[in-house]
Chains A and B, each alone.
Chain A
Amino acid sequence: MSNSLPTSPSLREGGFYLEDKGEGPRGRPATEAGGSKAGSSPLGQQALLAILCDLQNASGVEGSILVNSRGLPMAASLAATVNAQNLAAMAGTFGGSGLKVAEALGLGRPRMAILEGKSRLLIVNLFMGFTLAGILPKDANLGLALVEMERAVERIQETLALHPVEIQVDEAQVSRVVQQVAAKDFVRSLLEQLGGRE
């Protein structure tokens, strides 16, 4: 990792966060989890592969792949004829489009998207910046496949030691405190000077 200034590190303009470099401080490898080694060690990869194999055994999923936020495959259980890099890129693109559509329509963060082809289905689970994609025949048991993919996601999160961010804001408390603060003479005076709304 060079010490030069990051040129385009942002998720959005002006932002800076640190996962896109593929390495930790001073060149140490790091995973998306900010240092968790599970995904980058051989044992971690075996564990991830085992999860994908279990997914196939327990459901009608023919092949599956785990993709990181940069669209790179982390583990794959696919037929030899399937190009993992290509599927990773396509699954990442499909999942990313789903995120944009959900955001544009105000649906909330999507957990899953399904693409139905004439002969096969592509299911992508979106979780914590990762994408788990599964391909299954159109006549497969979709309900079972969805349950098993959710289960696989939970196991992957455990394996990578990922912790969801639980942000709880007490909106009523926010509103109450803001009203109380804004009602103070001192703050009213400040707001008037700023020309802000009360």
Chain B
Amino acid sequence: MKKIAFHSFKGGTGKTNLAASTAAVIASRGQDVAILDLDLTAPGQHELFRLDPSKEVRTFDDFLWGRCTIADTVLDYSHQAGVKGRLLLVPASMRLEDIQRVLRTGYEVAQFASGLARLEEQYALDCLIMDTHPGVGEDALLALASADEIYLCLVLDRQHYTGTAIINELATMMGKEVHLIINKVPRGHPPSEVVARIEEQFRRSVAACIPLEQEIMAAESGELVGLTRPETRFAEATQALADGIMGRKPV
């Protein structure tokens, strides 16, 4: 099982959308993939998968606190998404008390690691995609340390550059393979120039450079646009990301 982390230093990079859509594209090709919402203090995957808020579900938080097994948290969206492979979601809790507990006490590394191991054992997954919490907190670093490859997302904004360099450096110390994704590129920035400048600065390959698109904004993070809006460049990028992820061997 390949373990992939989608991460960013700051929020607002489209990381959650990219992670979900890339997972969906991988599943659409007949492979089994799970997406794990590790943004425990600001979850978002449940919105993309249109998880019914009235439905009581077990979450990764519940597993971390020992309230349930990892299998209890797994939701199968394969049929709903119409994909050939399995598309599984392990959501994070939206309950305020759970979010506050994560912030207050964190969680046990061993329990986290056992969750990943059991997902691998019980579901024979081809790929696990982790949607991390932005920044350099311990939860994010744990996710990065657990990943085989890191897809580091940023936008063309001064607030992102130094932070991205920090994450990149930490990932290097961990010996991780890092790929950059530049998202929401505004008009007026030729992609080749953007890619060249970013690669020159961060000394990492750019896996995708995606323009800002009205169609993606219109989706309002309410759908897996990699599948539902294949005509967009965002969707094309997730196809290419899926190529890259599943074409590479685990580190």
Q: Does B138 interact with chain A (Cβ within 8 Å)?
A: yes
Known: A14-B179, A178-B169. A32 touches B241 (CB 8 A): no
Q: Does B217 interact with chain A (Cβ within 8 Å)?
A: no
CB < 8 Å: which of A17, A161, A190 contacts B192? A17
Q: Does B209 interact with chain A (Cβ within 8 Å)?
A: yes
Q: How far is the CA of A174 from the CA of B201 in the complex (A)?
A: 13
Chain A residues bordering chain B, tally (CB within 8 A) = 55
* Interfacial chain B residues near A107, Cβ < 8 Å: none
Whole-angstrom distance between the Cβ of B33 and the nearest chain A Cβ: 18
* Interfacial chain B residues near A162, Cβ < 8 Å: 188-190
Whole-angstrom distance between the Cβ of A56 and the nearest chain B Cβ: 25
CB < 8 Å: which of A5, A163, A168 contacts B243? A5
* Interfacial chain B residues near A173, Cβ < 8 Å: 162, 166
Chain B residues bordering chain A, tally (CB within 8 A) = 56
* Interfacial chain A residues near B190, Cβ < 8 Å: 19, 32-34, 69, 128-130, 162
Majority SS at the chain B contact face: helix
Q: Which of B124-132, B170-178, B218-226 lies at the interface with chain A?
A: B170-178
Q: How far is the CA of A36 from the CA of B187 in the complex (A)?
A: 6
Q: How far is the CA of A89 from the CA of B60 in the complex (A)?
A: 56
Q: Which of B72-80, B97-105, B229-237 lies at the interface with chain A?
A: B229-237
Number of A-B contacts (CB under 8 A): 160
Asked if A191 contacts B240 (CB within 8 A), the reply is: no
Asked if B208 contacts A17 (CB within 8 A), the reply is: yes
Known: A167-B198, A174-B169. A18 touches B233 (CB 8 A): yes
Rank and list the top 10 A-B pairs by shortest CB-CB distance, nearest first. Answer: A16-B240, A17-B209, A129-B192, A19-B191, A128-B193, A163-B188, A17-B191, A129-B190, A32-B190, A190-B145
A interface residues (Cβ-Cβ under 8 A, vs B): 1, 3, 5-6, 9, 11-19, 25-26, 32-36, 69, 109, 128-130, 160-171, 173-174, 177-178, 181-182, 184, 186-187, 190-191, 193-198
- 20 further A-B pairs in the complex, CB-CB below 8 A; given A16-B207, A174-B162: A1-B231, A3-B231, A6-B239, A11-B196, A12-B206, A16-B208, A17-B194, A18-B209, A25-B233, A26-B231, A32-B191, A34-B188, A34-B190, A109-B196, A128-B193, A129-B191, A168-B158, A177-B136, A182-B173, A184-B138
